[in-house]
Amino acid sequence: MNFFRRLKQWFAPGQERSAQQTPSQLPASVENRDYTSPSPGTPPASQPTTPNRSTSPPSSPQPRPESTLSGLDASRFQPLTQDEAMESTSQPGWRTAYWDPLNVIPSASLPRIRVIDQTMVGMGLIDAEELAEIHDIGEQMAQFRTDYHVIQHAGQAAVQAARNARDARKAEMKRLAAERKQQRQQAVAQRKATDIVFLGRGVSRGLADRRSNIERLQASGLPVLSSPAELAEAIGISVGTLRWLSYHHPASKTTHYHSWKIAKRSGGERTISRPHKKLEHAQRWVLDHLLSKLPTHDAAHGFVPGRSTLSGAVPHVGASVLVNVDLQDFFPTIDFARVAGLFRGFGYSPAVATILALLTTEAPRRMIRSGSETLHVAVGNRSLPQGACTSPAISNLICQRMDKRLSGMAASIGWCYTRYADDLSFSSVEQADKVAYLLARVRHFTDEEGFQIKASKTRVLRRSNQQSVTGIVVNDRPSIDRKTIRQLRAILHRAKSEGLERQNRIGHTNFRGWVAGMIAYVEMVNPQQGRKLREAFGTI
């Protein structure tokens, strides 16, 4: 481009040329040449092969190797003078735009190219032989240009075909990936509808094991269940509902229990948790079809059909010494792991045992407000909730080995043992001097069974004291303590003149029902006392 700009400046009429571009400063080889056109038949004047562009004396020219190309005649590129070049470029054909093809040596037969070549030779920019060699190469390149374009287009077509094949493979891979994703989603949906594989962190370990001991279950008369789907079908709910009821949430917006606190007689508060309707239905099924079919120890009298506080107190009537021991945090001590182990011991698979344990345990929770949401956050391990119908039966089965050990130890020293929930009672008629040994062994056995004794509620009662077991006096015969009898008599006496509701000083919502229940309890323990109270209650 610089060369053509220089040509334009040199041959443009009326335009001044700089001092470096004047013909007077051209190389000496160019200035000394004869630019006149040779006459026909006259051989051209010999030209130096290489112009001398330096001021030093020219060296002897090296012989140029003969061209092995097509051998264009160098005489075709005879130099033009400035006037001849300007005359040629002033022709009409030079007034139009002309674009050289890219990556191609132009042909020497083109008039424009011929003038340019001769002008370049005349200016000493290149000699005729070099120019002839360049055009010779261009003509040979032109011979292969068609094949080159064919190969080029074929290569482009091959590249495009490879790209199309790659795009097709990518599209096919995407289609297959989408199909696999859809199949996985369908498989997950199907598995969720028919199986349970995860119920929360820390509690899902055994859900993959579906091996039950069928012989042991059949021997105990228990339903043979091995998978979550079989358990859900037995309860009469869907697998999704079973998952929802048994899933362990560390923090949840909802809970399956309604909880409240009541005051303890000894001080403090006790949390009562009552399950909601769907969970209560599942727990009732577990109680009726599993827990109630398993035997409990003879020493257990709490929440056992045919037994009561009275049956637990009768064996201690007339004892010379009575020892009452209370277990601390009885239900919270029986945690999820112990309950799951209990169901596995029955013969159920780890999967079924895990779900049954989740249905019958719950973690203590605290309500925390986070922005506009209220979360029920677990603040402890899952354990038996006080208020679930399954908790007493499970606790009796958990304590079966402890009852057996304590009963055997007591019998070995001539004592009698009964248990009502967390109240342990020991009595003896003759071996009153074994109290220290008895308490030491009781503490040892309860520690080994995972329980702790509440020392502040341990009582050693002699015959000179009022001996009571679970609120029933057992000194001579089973009876209710005098304070309770006097309180009921006073209520009934004043109710005749003032009305029964005015005697409700404890703020009971159903005071009449409470009075009727207390009279029934007295009548169960001591029928004679209870009969008199019921007659008085009937006159109100």
**What three-state secondary structure class fits 272?**
strand
**What three-state secondary structure class fits 51?**
coil
d(C-alpha 275, C-alpha 538), whole Å: 36
How confident is the model at residue 342, as a pLDDT? 96
Strands 321-326, 459-462: pairing is antiparallel
Q: pTM score, two decimals? A: 0.67
Domain ranges, residue 517: 479-538
d(C-alpha 446, C-alpha 436), whole Å: 16
- Is the domain of 251 the same as that of 373? yes
How confident is the model at residue 339, as a pLDDT? 97
306 φ/ψ angles, rounded to the nearest 5 degrees: 85, -5
**135 occurs within a structural domain:** yes
Q: Which pLDDT tens digits describe the chain residue by residue (540 residues)?
A: 455 555 555 555 544 444 444 444 444 444 444 444 444 444 444 444 444 444 444 445 455 444 444 455 666 666 777 777 777 777 666 655 666 666 778 887 887 788 888 888 888 888 888 888 888 888 887 777 777 777 877 888 889 999 999 999 999 999 999 999 999 999 888 888 889 999 999 999 999 999 999 999 999 999 999 999 999 999 999 999 999 999 999 999 989 999 988 887 777 788 899 999 999 999 999 999 999 999 999 999 999 999 999 999 999 999 999 999 999 999 999 999 999 999 999 999 999 999 999 999 999 999 998 888 889 999 999 999 999 999 999 999 999 999 999 999 999 999 999 999 999 999 998 877 899 999 999 999 999 999 999 999 999 999 888 999 998 999 989 999 999 999 999 999 988 888 888 888 877 888 889 999 999 999 999 898 889 899 888 888
- Is the domain of 203 the same as that of 351? yes
**39 occurs within a structural domain:** no
The residue to which tokens 């949906």 are assigned? 189
First-to-final CA distance of the chain: 127
How confident is the model at residue 500, as a pLDDT? 87
**46 occurs within a structural domain:** no
- Is the domain of 255 the same as that of 146? no
Q: Which residues pair with 457 in a beta bridge?
A: none
Q: Which residues pair with 321 in a beta bridge?
A: 428, 462
The three-state (H, E, C) secondary structure of 389-455, written as one string: CCHHHHHHHHCHHHHHHHHHHHHHCCCEEEEECCEEEEEECCCHHHHHHHHHHHHHHHHHCCCCECH
- Is the domain of 214 the same as that of 345? yes
Helices (H), 44-110: 82-89
- Is the domain of 376 the same as that of 439? no
How confident is the model at residue 371, as a pLDDT? 80
d(C-alpha 460, C-alpha 467), whole Å: 9
**64 occurs within a structural domain:** no
CB of 343 closer than 8 Å to CB of 357: yes
Sign, CA torsion 492/497/501/502: negative
CB of 323 closer than 8 Å to CB of 435: yes
Strands 468-469, 472-473: pairing is antiparallel
**48 occurs within a structural domain:** no
- Is the domain of 321 the same as that of 430? yes
Tally of domains in the chain? 4
Of 191, 213, 242, the last residue of a domain is: 191
Q: Strand ranges (DSSP E) for 246-399?
A: 251-252, 257-263, 269-275, 321-326, 365-370, 373-378
**54 occurs within a structural domain:** no
- Is the domain of 166 the same as that of 29? yes
Of 191, 219, 234, the last residue of a domain is: 191
Count Cβ neighbours within 10 Å for each residue of 73-112 and write b for 16 or more, e otherwise.
ebeebbbbbeebbeebbeeeeeeeeeeeeeeebeebeeee
CB of 355 closer than 8 Å to CB of 246: yes
Count Cβ neighbours within 10 Å for each residue of 363-387 and write b for 16 or more, e otherwise.
bbbeeeeeeeeebbebeeebbbbbb
How confident is the model at residue 251, as a pLDDT? 92
- Is the domain of 79 the same as that of 209? no
**367 occurs within a structural domain:** yes
- Is the domain of 177 the same as that of 145? yes
Residue length of the chain = 540
CB of 273 closer than 8 Å to CB of 388: yes
- Is the domain of 144 the same as that of 184? yes
- Is the domain of 413 the same as that of 272? no
Using CA atoms, how far residue 333 sits from 379, 447, 453, 496, in Å, is: 15, 12, 12, 47
- Is the domain of 431 the same as that of 448? yes
**455 occurs within a structural domain:** yes
